[in-house]
Amino acid sequence: MTEFSATIIGAGIVGMSTAAFLQREGCKVTVIDRLPPGEGCSFGNAGGIAFAEIVPTVHSRMLLKIPRWLMDPLGPLTLRWSYLPKAMPWLMALGRNAMPDRVKAITEARAALALRVVSDFETLLKAAGAADLINYQDTLRLYDNEAQYLAEAPEREAKRAHGYVTKRLSGGEARELEPAIGPSVHCGVFHGGWYFVSNPERVVKSIAADVVKNGGTIIADDVVSLTRLGNRVSEIVLKEKGPRKVDKLVICAGAYSHLLARQLDENILLEAERGYHMVLPNPGVSLSRSLTHARTPGAATPMEMGLRLAGSDEFAGLEAAPNYKRADALWRNFKAVLPGLREPDSKTTRWMGRRPGTPDSLPVIGPSKTTANVWYGFGHGHMGLTWGPTTGRLISEIMTGRKSNIDLSPFRADRF
Ligand SMILES: Cc1cc2nc3c(=O)[nH]c(=O)nc-3n(C[C@H](O)[C@H](O)[C@H](O)COP(=O)(O)OP(=O)(O)OC[C@H]3O[C@@H](n4cnc5c(N)ncnc54)[C@H](O)[C@@H]3O)c2cc1C
C-alpha cells in the first residue's frame, strides 16, 4: 500500500468520497471546507442515483425549447439577464456540445462513468453503516400526453442501446403503483436505473464520520489561496488558520472549483447552475418512489424529512440572492400531477444550491495540467450525487497509478 498524504478541498459528496477511497489506499487524508460536510450543493439534491441518465442535460432538441423557457421567469430554466455577458463563453460552449456528434460522444462517456455507480455507492455506505439510505426503487417518469412521451423516444433509445431497459405503463398502471398520481397523467415510464437516497445530507455526513473514524481529519475553514513553488502547490492559505503545507492536493470544491483552478493558470468553464428545493414534512400524499415529470425538470422524492420537490436551473452566478419563487413554482408543477399535494405550511422549507455545471455535462476528473501535485474532481452538474462515489474511486486510482475501468480522456481538465 502506498503511504502518502492528501489534502482535499471540499466536503461535499465528491470530496468526501475521494477522501474515503484514498484512505482505502493507505493515504492520510485531510478535508477542508468552510461548511460542515454535506452542507453545500450536496445537501439539498433530489436524491436520485440516476445512473441511467446518460444523455447530456442539453442536446439539440432541447436547445430549441430554451428560448420559450427563458421567456418565463419561473420556467424550468432562467437566466438573469444582467448575468448574460459573464455566462456567454459557457453558453457558447453549451451550444457546441449540443450538436449530434458531441452528444453521442458525451453519452458514451456518461455511460462509462455510470458503470460502477451502484457498487461504489454501496462500498462507501456499507462501510459507513448507512447502506439503508439507498432505496432500490426505480424512478417513475410521468407524461401528460402521447406527444410528450414520443418526444423522448431518442433518449429512451440511447438508454436501451446501453442496456437500460425502459418500461411503459399506462396512466392507470402508474396510479395503481402510486395512488397519489392524478388523472391528468397519460402514461409513465420506468427509465431502468434510477434509485434514490432518503437523505443526501446524511449520505455525506455518514461517509465523513467513517473517514474521521478511520483517522482522517476534517478542518472547518476557507481556502483563500494556493501557493505555487515551481510546478507544485507547496501550501494553501486558510482564512482562519493561515498557511498549511500540502503534499498532494485534490480540488473538489463544487461550483467554486474553477476559482481555485484559475490560480493554477487553468481555465475551466464552470457555471453555478442554481437549483431549488421545497420540502413538505406534511405533503398530504405518500409516494414509495421518486417521480419525475416530463414537463417539469425536477423530481418529487419521498425522503425521511418529508416530500422533497427539487429541480429548476437558474444562471445568476455564485453570489446572487436566491429567488424562492422558483421553489414555489416546483410545487405548482407537481400539484398538477399529485392533486392531493398539500399547500406549503409553516414547516415547509425552501433551499437553493449551486450545481457545478460544465458546458458538456461531464465532470472534470484527473490531474491538473499545470501543476504536478494537484488533481481535480468537480463539475458534476445535475449528476453529482450519482457520480460522486465513482469519482472518488477514480481519483484514488489515478493518484496511486492504478488502471481505471474506463477511458478518462473525456474528463480531462484541458478540454475547454
Ligand atoms: C435542486 C438540485 C437537485 C439535484 N438532484 C440531483 C440528483 O437527483 N442526483 C444527482 O446525482 N445530483 C443531483 N444534483 C446535483 C448534485 O447535488 C451536485 O452535483 C453535487 O452535490 C455536487 O457535489 P460536490 O461535492 O461537487 O459539491 P458541493 O456539495 O457543493 O461541495 C463542495 C464543497 O466545497 C466547499 N468549498 C468550495 N470552495 C471552498 C474554499 N475555497 N474553501 C473551503 N471550502 C470550499 C463548499 O463549501 C462545499 O461544501 C442536484 C442539485 C440540485 C441543486
Q: Report the nearest atom of ligand 1 relative to the CA of 387.
A: 11
Class of the 4-415 domain?
A: alpha beta
The whole-angstrom separation of Cα 74 and Cα 324 is: 10
Q: Tell me what pLDDT residue 2 has.
A: 57
The whole-angstrom separation of Cα 325 and Cα 323 is: 5
Ligand 1 pocket residues where CB is under 6 Å: 9-15, 32-35, 40-42, 45-48, 50, 222-223, 252-254, 256, 275-277, 299, 310-311, 353, 355-356, 378, 380-386
CA of 277 to the centre of ligand 1 (A): 14
Across the chain, mean pLDDT equals: 94
Which secondary structure element, helix H or strand E, spans residue 92, and what is its range? helix 84-97
Model confidence at 119, in pLDDT bands (50, 70, 90)? very high
Q: Locate all alpha helices (DSSP H) within 196-281, ordered by sequence.
A: 200-213, 257-262
CA of 360 to the centre of ligand 1 (A): 17
Beta strands in 296-400 (DSSP E): 296-303, 306-315, 349-357, 364-367, 374-378
The whole-angstrom separation of Cα 391 and Cα 248 is: 17
Look-up: residue for cell 455506505? 125
Checking if the pLDDT of 76 tops 80, the result is no
The whole-angstrom separation of Cα 218 and Cα 30 is: 6
By most ligand atoms within 8 Å of CB, the mutation choice from 385, 391, 394 for ligand 1 is 385
C-beta separation of 306 from 279 below 8 A = yes
Checking if the pLDDT of 6 tops 80, the result is yes
Which secondary structure element, helix H or strand E, spans residue 371, and what is its range? none
Q: Tell me what pLDDT residue 87 has.
A: 87
CA of 12 to the centre of ligand 1 (A): 6
Nearest CA among 86, 103, 76, 68 for reference residue 274: 76
Nearest CA among 273, 247, 252, 196 for reference residue 18: 252
Nearest CA among 390, 285, 272, 395 for reference residue 334: 285
Checking if the pLDDT of 212 tops 90, the result is yes
Q: pTM for the full model?
A: 0.96
pLDDT per residue as tens digits for the range 96-118: 999 999 999 999 999 999 999 99
